[in-house]
Amino acid sequence: MEGYIVDWLSLIGRWVHFVTGVAWIGASLYFVWLDNHLLAPKQNGDADRGVGGELWAVHGGGFYHAQKYRVAPAVLPEHLHWFKWEAYWTWISGMFLMALIYWYGAEIYLIDPDVADLSKPVAIALGIASLIAGWVVYDLLCKSPLGNNQTTLSSVLFVLVSLAAWGLCELFSGRGAYIHFGAMLGTIMVGNVFFVIIPGQSDLVAAKQENREPDPAHGERAKQRSVHNTYFTLPVLFVMVSNHYALTYGHEYNWLILIVVTLAGAAVRVYFVARHFGKASPVPIAVAVVLLLALAIAIAPSPGSAPAQASAKVTFAQVREVVQKRCAGCHARVPTQPGFAAAPKGVAFDTAGEIVAQAAQIHQQTVVTKAMPIGNLTNITDAERALLEAWFSGGANVE
């Protein structure tokens, strides 16, 4: 019953996280696009009224005319729309999932004794500390003199983010490290909204209501943080889907893979941000493609990467014994492993036919990436991995 309840909580949490995340990221990408497409106002008097740029668009069968003021309008409109709850609820739902899956189930998803033999409380404390430290360090850097030089600041941030990727992969399971890396960037993004962008906007509104001159510095700081958020977006989205691909987080150099994909994602955003202004150089896209191709080639499995094959002929009976002992605790129609109400991804190994049908995935997950059993909960041995390798290489037959 515990696993069933956790599954339902996870389902609802993921649904909310997905919906609010789409709303937040969609709005964020739209406003970056909008800001980069603004043209000088053409109507007489608009510039005198404080309009700094405007844009005409057509969508859904109608025309839209958007204007942005250099600081604020002379008189506030009756209805002013804010964009903040999308960000807040994305983070809240994400932290709910983090607590439910990676902290409550730390012994399954977060701790890998082969990486670091951590107790559950220590692992959870380190995970929480990484999120707090990520925001504090980032915010202090932006407020420091480095914040006045975007090139230098970006370079320093990339180095620190890379160190964080390496450090997390040295502490947690690959899957746990990746999700904490994404959560760290996501926390920085929502921190920018909560601590910088919204307070700045609130002060601009208050200034107009109190008949005092608005401080344009708020807009400058908000734009800096918004630009950072847009470059963090694609790496965060990659982390959200990475748990389906053990070839990344399960690799020996998972930290380096995470850094390369983060850099590629940032390069893609560089291209699209530049494209907003008109004709963009294809160099950033080319860099991203080259990075991903080089990565795919570099981590491709080779015959020498698998455990040494068993010298004697492997029978299916031997294979089934290993699968039942090491895998079927989770991958069964009625799992016996605590915390699992159903077989992950619906993959069960109850029958010989099911084992043979999933031979390629069993080989990929247990031999090539060694991502399974998750956190090596069932203590599979190298000899057993070698046996599975020999069976798969020999045709994965039922004999």
| Each residue's pLDDT tens digit, 367-390 | 888 888 887 888 899 999 999 999
* DSSP conformation letters of 220-289: HHHHHHHHHHHHHHHHHHHHHHHTT-HHHHTSTTHHHHHHHHHHHHHHHHHHHHHHHTSS--SHHHHHHH
Placement of tokens 């605790």 in the chain: 329
Placement of tokens 């004794």 in the chain: 113
Count the helix, strand and coil residues of the chain and give each as a percent rounded to the nearest 5: 65, 5, 30
147 within 8 A of 207, measured Cβ to Cβ: no
Question: What is the residue extent of each domain of the chain?
Answer: 2-30+85-298, 37-69, 306-393
In this prediction, residue 102 carries a pLDDT of 95
Confidence of residue 24 (pLDDT cuts 50, 70, 90): very high
Strands 62-69 and 51-59: antiparallel
Q: Say what percent of the chain tops pLDDT 70.
A: 97
Residues 206, 207, 212, 218: is their CA dihedral positive or negative? positive
Omega of the bond prior to 373 within 30 degrees of 0, cis? yes
Q: Look over the chain and give the mean of its residue pLDDT values, rounded to a whole number.
A: 90
| Each residue's pLDDT tens digit, 30-78 | 888 888 889 999 888 899 899 999 999 999 999 999 999 988 888 888 8
pTM here is 0.84
In this prediction, residue 67 carries a pLDDT of 94
| Each residue's pLDDT tens digit, 279-337 | 788 999 999 999 999 999 999 877 655 555 555 678 898 999 999 999 988 999 888 88
- The residues facing 53 across adjacent strands are 68
| Each residue's pLDDT tens digit, 88-115 | 999 999 999 999 999 999 988 999 988 9
| Each residue's pLDDT tens digit, 234-254 | 999 999 999 888 889 989 899
User: Once rounded to an integer, what is the mean pLDDT over residues 166-193?
Assistant: 97
